[in-house]
Structure 1
Amino acid sequence: MYRVMIVDDEPLIREGLRTIVEWEECGFQVAAVAVDGMDALSKIPQAKPDLMVIDVRMPGMTGLQLMQNVQEQYDPAPLFIVLSGHADFEYARQALSMRAEGYILKPVDEEELEDALRKVKLTLDKRRSEGSSPSGQAWSRERTVLSLLSVEGEEPPEEALGTIRLGGAPYSVLLIKLQNREEIDAATATSVKTRLSDAFDASGKGVVFSLESNLGLVLSADETDMPHVYREIRRACSESGLDFTAVAGDEADGLAGLSQSLRSAEEGLKNRFLLEGDRIYPAMEAAAPAERQSDAKVLGESESEKLLLALDLGNAEAAASWVRGTADAMRAARMGEPEVKSAFAQSFTAALAKLEQRRPELKERCRAFAAEVLKLYGEYRLSGLTEALTELVAKMADSFRGYGSDQQMQKMIELIRRNYADNLKLESLAEVFGYNSSYLGKLFRNYTGESFNAYLDKVRIEQAKELLEQGLKVYQVAERVGYSNVDYFHGKFRKYEGVSPSAYRKK
C-alpha cells in the first residue's frame, strides 16, 4: 500500500475524502490528514506520504506554495493531486507545470479521483521498481534528526548519522517559538528557518528542523556560547519582524537521548507566556513547579474590587499598581496564558459593567474600554500584556476623572453612595486614595462629622427604607444593601430607626 496525505482546510471535505473514496482498492492508505500547509509540513516526516491530495486555496499557505515547499525539501518528493473549487485555467497551468499528477475540480467526483489514483499508482510502481519511492526519502540531516527525536521514528542508517556532522556529546535540543501579535504565515516562517540553516547547518554548528509549529536546533558541546546562539536567532527573526522564545532542553549524553532533551524543552516552552524572550532559557528554569497556586487566590473578590474603586475615582496610579501587582501574583502562581487572559478580562469587564450600572453617564466609555481590553488577547507575553493594560488603565482613569467633585472627600462620599452594597472597607479605600487608613478615617470624620462605618451604615439604612417601602422582603433588602447577615441588619436598622425592618414596612 502507498501512503497518502489529505490536505484541506474544510473539515467536511477532509472527512469525505478520507471515508468515501475506496483507497485500498486503488492501492493506497490514508496515513495522515492536515488542516493547512503548515500542518502538512509538520506531519510529513512522520507520515512519509507517497502521494498528497491538496486543496489549492487554504489560509496562510496555498496548495501550490505547499507543493513548492515540499518539492524543495524532499528528493524524491511525494506526488500530488490538486483539488480546486475554481475552474481557473491559471491554477491548472501552474499545478501541471509543477508536475502535479492531476487537477480535479470540487465537488470531487469519486470515480474521477479513483481513476487519477490508479494512474498515480502506476507511476509509484515504476518509482519503486527503480528504487526511489518517497517512502524511502533521502536521509537529509533534518530527517535524520527528526527520526532521532521521535521514539517511534524510523531508525536512520549508520551513513545518515554520519551526515549530521556535529561535535561531541553532550547534545541538547533547543526549541524556538516564533511570535507576533498577528498570525505568522508559512513563507515568513520558512524564511527564518533558511536564515538559521545558513548560520548553523552550513557551518556544522547545529542542525535546524521544523516540528509542528516550532523551529528547532540540535547543538553539541562544541557550541557552548548560548549568547551567540541567541543573537543568531534574534537576527534571523528580526529580519522578518518577528519575536521569539527559545528553551534549551536537558543535555543528552548521546544522540539516543535527544528525544528526552526534546521533551524537556517542550515542557519549558509551554510556559513561554511567562518568559521574557531576552535569552535562551534552560528547560529546568522555564518549566512550572509541580504545585501551582489556584487562580482564585490570585484574583479574589477584594482584589478585583480595588480595580473598580481605582477606576471609579479616576486614580491612574492605583489602577496601574493593581495591574502590576496582579501580574506579579499570576507570574508567581505560574498561571497559564489562557487563565491569565481570562482572569484579567473577567476582572475588567466586571468592573466596567458595575461602573456603567452605577454611573450611567459613563455607559459609552465603559463599553468602548471593555472592547479595548479584549483586543489585548493578541499579546503573547505577560510582560507585554501588563504594559498594555497599564497604559489602558491610565487612559480609563483620565477619561473617568473629569466626572464629579475634585474634592477627595466628596469623591469618597459619592463612591460610598454608588457602591454601598459592596464590601467596602476603609483600608481598601485608603489604598486607592493614597492615604494611611487611620489618617483617611480622621479626614472623613472631620468632613462629615461621622466615622466611615457609621456613614456607610446610614447610607445603607436609607436605601433599605426605600426598598422596604417598595414591599421587598426583609432578607432581600438586607442582601441588596450590603448586609449578608439578616440578624445583623435587624440590629443596625433598629439602632438607627428605633423599630425593626418588619415593623417599618407595616407603617
Structure 2
Amino acid sequence: MINVLIVDDEPFIRQGLKILIDWRKYGFNIVNEAADGQSALEIIEKEPIDLVITDIKMPHMNGIELIEAIRNGKNKHLKVIVLSGYYEFEYAKQAIKHNVIDYILKPIQKGELVKTLMEFKESYNKEAKKQAEALHTDMIVLERHLNALCSGLYNEQDIDYICKRLPYHNELRYIMMEIDLNDKGFRDLKEEEKHEVINEFHDKLKTYTQPYGDYVLLDIDKRNESYGIGFIYSRQFSKEKGINEREYIQKLQETMKVQLPYKFYCYIGEMVEEVIQLSNSFKSAIIAKSFQNYKHSEDITYYDDTSSLKTSTYGIKKEYMDELVRYAEQNSEEDIDRCVDQIYSSFEENNVDPKIININIDYLLCQFLYLTKELDSEVDQEEVLRYISECAFEQCAARGSAKHFKAFVKDFAGYLSQLRQSNSHGVLKEVEKEIELHYKENLSLKSLSEKYYINSAYLGQIFKKQYGIGFKDYLNNYRLERASELLIRTNDKVCFIAESVGYNNLDYFINKFVKLKGKTPLQYRKQFLK
C-alpha cells in the first residue's frame, strides 16, 4: 500500500476526498490528515508517508511553503499532488518548480483523481523496484568485500570499501550461526528449500540487528556441507544497548531461536582490534566449532573459552575403536552404547585435537567398509559411502553428539546384520509396487526402508543389483516414461505434465527428459504429430 497524507484547511474537503474513491482498491492507504502545512510537516517527521495531497490556500503555512519545507528537509524526495480552487499561473509555476507530480483543480473529479493516482502508482512502483534492485546489488557487493576480508584473500580496495561503507571497524568478532544438520525437519527439506530457509534466516537477522544489518552475511565456510550465516559483531553494538557482549549475543541467539523453526549453533570467534584482522576471528570461530564438537553441544561456543585449553595430539586407544567395530559386527546395542560413551569420555578428558579425532573416525569408517566387503564381495562401496553420508556420519562426527554417533553405529550394525541374510530380495516386489502407485510422491529409499523394516543402505544395494541402476535413477526413469506417454496422449502443457509426474521444477524435468530421450518434451511430442 502507498501511504497518503491529505492536507487541507477545510474539513469537508478532507472528508470528501476520503470517500470520493475506494483508496485501498487502487493500492493507497490514507494514514493521516492535516489542516495546515505546519501540522503536515510534524506528521511527515513521525510517520512513513509516500504521497502528500495538499491544498494551496491554507493558514499558518500554505501549500507552496509546505512543498518548499519538504524539498529542503530530509524527506526531499517525497511526492506531492497539489489541489487548488484558484487556477492561477503563478501557483502552477511555483508548484512545477518544486517538482510536484500533478496539479488538480477543485471541485475534484473522481476520474481525474483516479487517473493521476494510477500514473503516480506506476512511476512509484518502477522507482521502488529500481531502488530494491540497487539495494540488492549493493548488498551483494558489500558481502563480496566482507567475504574477501573474512577469508583473508583481500586487497586494499576491499578494506577501503568496507571502511567507507560500515560505521564501526574496531573491536570485532565473527559469529558463525549454523543450522544443526541433525535436525530432522531441516534434513528432510529439499535442497532449494534449505537455501530458502537460509535466505530467510539471513533476512530476519538483518532486520533484527538494524541499524547494523549490513554486518550480516551468508556464511563463507564452504569446506564442508553447512548451512549458516555470519554476523560481524562490534563491541559498540552492546555498548549502545547498555549491556555486555555476552548478554548481547545471548539475546541475539534467543531472539533468532524464536524466529527459526530449526536448531542452530553459534560459534563466536576471537575479538580482533581492527577490521583488517577479521580473518583471524573467522578462523577462530571455526576452531570454536571444532572444540565444541566433543564437548556438551552447547548452543553458543566462544573461542575465548577454548583457546586456553591445551590440546592433546595423542589419540584414543586403538582398542576402543576395534571394540566398537566388533560390537557393531555382533549387533550388540548395549555394548555399542557403553563403548561410544568410553570413546567420547576419552575425547573430552584428554582434550584431543579435532584433527586427531578425525583420524580415529576415518579408521572406524575404513573398518566398516572392510566388513561390508567381507560379507558381500559384490558390495557397491560407493553405495555404502552414500548411505554413510545420508546417515549424517560426518555431521555426527563433526557435531560431537554421542547420542547421534550411537544411532549411526547401531544403524550400521543393523545394515551388517541384513547383509548376512539372503532372503531380503522379496521386498523389492513391494518397492516396485510402491513406485508404480506412488511415483508422483516424494519417494525415497529412507521412507521405503522404514515402511518395510529394512536398512536403507541394504535396500539400495539389493535394488541396484536387481535392476542395474540406483533407486533414484530408476524412479526418475519411471516418471519420465509416464511423462512421455502423457505427451503423446494429451494436449496438456509441459509444465502441467511435469508436475503431474512428480516434478516441481520445470527446468529440472526438461533436463532429465533430454538426457533420457535425447529430445525436449515438445520435440518428442511433435515427432508423433507428423
Same fold (TM over 0.5): no
- Give the TM-score taking structure 1 as reference length: 0.39
- Give the TM-score taking structure 2 as reference length: 0.38
